Amino acid sequence: MTEAETETLMRSGVAHHVEGRLGEAQSVYLEVLQRQPEHAGALHLLGLIAFQSGEADKAVDLFDHAIAVRPDFPEAYDNRGTALYALGRYEDAVASYDRSIALKPGQAGPHANRGNALQTLHRGEEALTAFDTAIALDPEFADGFNNRAVTLMQLDRAQEALGSADEALRIMPGFAAAHTHRGNALHALGRLEEALVSHEAALRLHPDYAEAWCNRALALSDLGRHEAAAADHARAVALKPDFAIARFNLGIELLQLGRLEDGWDGYEWRGLAEAGMAPRTYPQPRWTGQEVRDRTVLVYHEQGLGDSIQFCRYAAMLAGRGARVVLAAPASLHPVLWTLEPRVRVIGQNDDPGPFDFYCPMASLPQSFGTRLDSIPAPARYLAADETSRAQWAVALGEKVRPRIGVVWGGSRLLKNDGRSILFDQFRSLISDVLVPGGADWICLQNQLWPADAEAAANGSGVRYVGDQLKSFGDTAALIEQMDLVVTVDTSVAHLAGAMGKPVWIMLMFNADWRWLLGRDDSPWYPSARLFRQAQPGDWTSVLEDVRQTLPKFLEGLG
């Protein structure tokens, strides 16, 4: 076959390909290869057909063959990167895009594709640079602006993300993904009703867009419209059954609505939905309610410290069924977990548990026990401080002359404010009031403070800070034992005080965590807890006022 005949045949194959007639195109490319087995263009386009047909592994092999024939083939490197990305080989994809760019730097597509891979690798600043380069090469590149918005959201730059999504929509008003990413940016900025409008615009354009249903559900949830949010998440799951985030979020909504028996199924998707939480697996069977008398069950920590404090009660229940329980948990929790139940052996998270018959993640125990709203196990007290630590803290605090109130107004200083924390300058209004004759001693139970809070708390605030002496939850528990009341935002201290049976007042954001349910001022998980809820998103003023109004009567009742 002459060169001209080959080119004519290739053009006919490309025409079929462009029109979506993949079978006809494939036949033409194979005919070319029969006559010229090392035709790089035909190998490359066969690779593209393989990728379009869902055969990414085969596509990589064909792209590699094309590149072996023609090492300076930028399009083959670009498409090879996309196939590698689909296989989850993100670092390899970046390297392939880099080679494409080195060969032909003026093309926007490879830069944008490289940005997508870097975004997936959580290398946000590098991804942003890649998208900026793509947009500089093609200022009307709607996909580039849209993906740049996603990266800006990862970098917590919501206002810029909104602007980038708006640019994508200026170029392509019917771009459904850009509408829902615009909604996500508005959500992050607290503009929830506007976020709904953007998600609804995406759904009008693309009614089967599972991610948009999920994103709209999150906005509805933060607006307190939980039944509607659950329905939207269910719609997302129906459209995309393997959509882990939607399944997990549906479970959370159902749990928050008190429909525990339905919600636990979705809660089991947490390991797939959240980065860094892939579930452990073992050769032994997972415990889902089987007979355990005289059997050994490994139970392990997987979520936050507060979650483990809440769910460790089930380890004691397993022991109550005659099991030998091995509880793997962070070392900071050990001093309080040692007080849980003598038949529960506590080990480090990565320690060898020895032989065991069953295993179960700690947060899966409620489902395995068939927990319903009316069957939540709620002992008045299931954790304690050891006697030595209690005695040491009694000495450290000195003689008690007034009621002692332990306070927590913020989470870890290592974490960004997620809405659960209160700035100390606002919280201190609770402390400054003279609520009862003689007042009270306010003691901070946090072991970490944001720098600005540390300065404010040290500046004549009336709060005693002993956080540098809190080395573990054993110390925190012993300090809590010295309190008459704990007033806290939703942190692990709230769980610890509740698990110890200490009166604990928990100040909750408007869309509080699922475990506090909806519209209640009590908790079926902690009989000693009282809940104070925001009336509107971000409204801590009314919460603090409710606490102020309630506190004098409580203190007077102490006698």
For residue 414, give both structure tokens.
């290592």
Hey, what amino acid is at 45?
A: L
What DSSP string describes 485-547?
Answer: EEEEESSHHHHHHHHTT--EEEEE-TT--GGG-SS-SS-SS-TTEEEEE-SSTT-HHHHHHHH
- Give Cα separations from 142 to 125, 305, 514 (angstroms): 20, 43, 38
Distances (CA, A) of 288 to 264, 302, 412: 12, 17, 34
> CA angle, corner 72, sides to 86 and 143, nearest 5?
40
- Decide if 405 contacts 436 (C-beta within 8 A): no
The rounded radius of gyration (Å) of the Cα atoms in the chain is: 29
Of 356, 354, 297, 305, the residue nearest 327 (C-alpha):
297
Per-residue tens of pLDDT for the chain, all 559 residues: 677 777 878 888 888 888 889 899 898 888 888 888 899 988 999 999 999 999 999 999 999 999 999 999 999 999 999 999 999 999 999 999 999 999 999 999 999 999 999 999 999 999 999 999 999 999 999 999 999 999 999 999 999 999 999 999 999 999 999 999 999 999 999 999 999 999 999 999 999 999 999 999 999 999 999 999 999 999 999 999 999 999 999 999 999 999 999 999 999 999 876 654 567 889 999 999 999 999 999 999 988 899 999 999 999 999 999 999 999 999 999 999 999 999 999 999 999 999 999 999 999 999 999 999 999 999 999 999 999 999 999 999 999 888 999 999 987 654 554 688 998 888 888 886 555 556 789 999 998 877 777 766 666 678 888 888 888 899 999 999 999 999 999 999 999 999 999 999 999 999 999 999 999 999 999 999 999 999 999 999 999 999 999 998 888 888 6
Of 1, 36, 9, 38, the closest CA to residue 25 belongs to 9
Under 8 Å between Cβ of 444 and 464: yes
For residue 452, how far is the Cα from the chain centroid? Answer: 27
User: Do residues 142 and 168 make contact, with C-beta atoms less than 8 angstroms apart?
Assistant: yes
Helix axes 192-205, 210-222, angle to 10 degrees: 160
**Cβ-contact 532, 507 below 8 angstroms:** yes
Contact assessment for residue 309 and residue 383, using Cβ atoms and an 8 Å cutoff: yes
CA dihedral over 483, 489, 493, 499, signed as positive or negative: positive
pTM (2 d.p.) = 0.90
Torsion of CA 344, 350, 353, 355, to 10 degrees: 150
Q: Which domains does the chain have, with CATH numbers?
A: 3-198 (1.25.40.10), 208-279 (1.25.40.10), 296-375 (3.40.50), 393-557 (3.40.50.2000)
CA proximity to 356, closest of 366, 348, 345, 365: 345
Q: Is 417 in a helix, a strand, or coil? A: coil
- Using the structure block, give the residue that is written with the tokens 């089991």: 268
Q: How many CB atoms lie within 10 A of CB 530?
A: 18
CA distances, 404 to each of 116, 400, 485, 501, 558 (Å) = 54, 8, 7, 16, 11
The residue whose two tokens read 């030998």 is 324
Rounded Cα–Cα distance for residues 318 and 153 (Å): 43
